[in-house]
Structure formats: C-alpha cells, structure tokens
Amino acid sequence: MRPRVVIAGAGFAGLTCARALKHAPVDVLLVDRNNYHLFTPLLYQVASALLDPGEIARPVRQLIRPLENADFRQASIAGVDFVGRHLVTDRGPIHYDYLVLATGAQTDYFGNAALAEHTMGLKDLDEGLAVRNHVLSQFEASRWTDDPDRRRELLTFVVVGGGPTGVETAGAISELIRLVLRKDYRDLDINEVRVVLIEAAPHVLSAFVPSLREAAHRSLTRKGIDVMLGVKVEAVTDSSVRLAGGEEIKTRTVIWTAGVRASDLGRATGLQLERQARITVDSTLQVPGHPVVFVIGDLAGAKDETARLPMLIPVAMQAGKHVAASITDMVGDGGTRPFHYKDPGIMATIGRNSAVAQLGWIHLSGFFGWIFWLAVHLVNVISFRSRLVVLVNWAWEYIFYDRPVRLIVRARQ
C-alpha cells in the first residue's frame, strides 16, 4: 500500500504541495472546510463590486482533476491525533502516513469581542460578499432619510489597517463610490460621502521602503480618502468608531484589516505556538518531535536565519513545493533539507493607474507600478477562463467607469 499524505487546507500552500506531489509514489488527500480554492489577492475586488466570486475561486475537485493520485474531502478540521496518526474532523478521523498542516490565517481582533461583533473582516469569500452587500445597502438606505447627519453616518466607510489589504480596499471602495455609484444615485451629494483609512503606525504599507509608502499615501489622498496615521482605534459600536484621542467617527461600516493570526488549528493541536498563534517548526518545516508532520503557509512559524517569514502567498507556495520534495525523498528513504525562502518582492495597488511594487532594488509606483501589478495578478489567477473574465471586467471598468456586479444578494439557508 502506498503512503497516504493528508494535506489539511486547500489554500495556496496546500494546493501547491498537492500539485508538487503529482509524480510521487504516494496517495494525496486534500481536506478543507470549503470546496473551493480562493485567489485571496483579489478578494477586495469582490467586496467592491468589480468581480464575481466565481472569477477568483474555483472548485478544488476541478483543480486537482489532473492529479491522478489526489482526492478531496470537505470537512471542518478540529485537531490532530499524533499518536494514532489521525487528522480529526467533524466527519470523522482521517488516517495519515504524512501530514501537512496548511489551514492558513484568519482576522485577528486581539481578543476584543466588540471588534469582532461590530466590524467586518476580509479574509474569505463570504466576508467579501458581505462587505459588498453592506456597502451597497448603505447607499440604498441613505435614500430613505432627509436627515443629512444620518446620511453622512450611512455613507461613511472606515477601513482599519494600513497594510496592503486595507490600502487596496479603501482605494477600491473610494473608486466604486466616486466613479460608479455617483452616477447610479443622481441626487447623491458626494460631499456627504467619506472613506477613512485608519493606521496606528506613522505610515501606511510599513513593509515597503519610505518612498513607496509616501507614493501610496499621496495616491490615497488624491482619491479622496481621509488617511489617519498614528491613530489607534479604542472602541467600535454599531454606529461609531472611537479613537484613542477621544475623536468619534459616526459610521455604520467598519472593515477590519488591522490584524491577522493563524487559524485555530494551531491551538487545537496543542503544539507549541509562536506570535500570531503560528505553530513552531524547525528549519525543515517539520514539527519538533513529529517527523512526519509538516506545517506550511500562514500557520507555520517558519524562520529564515533569525527573522520570522511573513504571512505571504510566495512563502506559502515555496514551502508547499519544499515539503512535497521532502516527503518524496522520505518515501524513498531519503532525508529532509532546510527551507530557504527566495523573496520575489511585494506590491499593492491603490486603484486605477496607481500601485507600488518593491522588487529588490527595483521600486515602481504610479502607472508603471499599476501595470506591473495587473500583469502579475492576471498571470496568477486560478484558471485560464478566470483570467479571460477578469481581464474583460478590468477592461470594461477601465474604459466605461463601471462595476458590473452591483448586486445585493443574500443566500437563504
């Protein structure tokens, strides 16, 4: 009987690992609570009514169809029985010979229940749709009141967190409002609309060099976004955001992108955890004391020399390939090797004609950064069909200043 490799999580890390095991003498089983793989870099475009969910997500079974040694099971993962070698799920235990934990990350509210209750995250497809529904609903609700203060409250959109997700979301919502919705709502007073980006640090995009941070800040300001730097959120309610200095912003919409931590599987395993609830691993991405268990992606507290590796897609994909090679070697009575990350660079878009890209010594901003961002993301979209549809939607929005999916859709359970 061939060894069974169970991969918990069908995100970038897990799917890359499964694909890299295509020719290995093993049977691969992917397990995930969702039946789809999500291209998370474009999730904010679902939230801002530019793309449909099917354009950034594909069924896992479709994606692994070319892999003759791979299968998929949909289940919620609850933990691991390391002694019996079972992945514990809500559908029952799954035996493994080799286990790869790759369940990704989730929004971190830092233990603040009020933040979790009164803000919206942007980490999964249902959250992206919820943001889209909510933003559009606020505009519809604003047409039913004659009170200007009430309208301003409904039409104030606060994004907390000045990292790439926050910057991209704020830029996309601002463009949705100023380029599209102002045409849909003929009596809309654009002065009553406000998009606010709040960041506790003294600058946005802290991972970038100062010149690109400043370029991003200027672009956000040009797009009419109120950028508040060095400001901490103290409390959030259904109708306001209270800042540490005492200022209060009246709003019905708060999108939280200020924190991220590993999925709850880390705590459920009982393994040693590091910052952001990431599982401690050794240099080969194996769990200390459990040589047949690997951790990759955002769940792994991997380090390169002395620095902890960032929670980024390139790290996840490179780790997936590395672990697949290690498992293949182990099946053939070989050993494992240390993981070394090769940084391809980072980038973020602020919207139409504006992005920043940091590729080693090459720094791009403005229009050229935007073109590079478009090319990289288009190439990496999940399938050829999705690339075509995304390209058409991007071109349509660019030429006609239109967002094609301004639908308020609520699924019934």
Residue 164's closest CA among 103, 121, 213? 213
CA 289, CA 283: separation in Å to the nearest integer? 13
* Burial classification of residue 292, based on how many CB atoms lie within 10 Å of its CB (0-12 exposed, 13-18 middle, 19 or more buried): middle
| Helix H or strand E segment including 403 | none
CA 328, CA 89: separation in Å to the nearest integer? 26
Q: Which residues pair with 58 in a beta bridge?
A: 37
Phi first, then psi, for residue 381 (nearest 5°) are -60, 150
Q: List, in sequence order, the alpha helices (H) in 90-158.
A: 113-118, 125-142, 148-154
Dihedral sign for Cα atoms in the order 52, 53, 54, 57: positive
Residue 159's closest CA among 39, 298, 44, 43? 44
**Residue type (1 letter), 322:** H
Phi first, then psi, for residue 328 (nearest 5°) are -60, -45
Q: What is the DSSP letter of 200?
A: S
55, 117, 140, 168: the active-site residue: 168
168 belongs to the catalytic site: yes
CA 369, CA 266: separation in Å to the nearest integer? 37
**Sequence-ordered list of residues with C-beta below 8 angstroms from that of 146, at least 6 positions apart, any chain:** none
Residue 302's closest CA among 326, 324, 334, 275? 275
**Which residues are annotated as catalytic?**
168
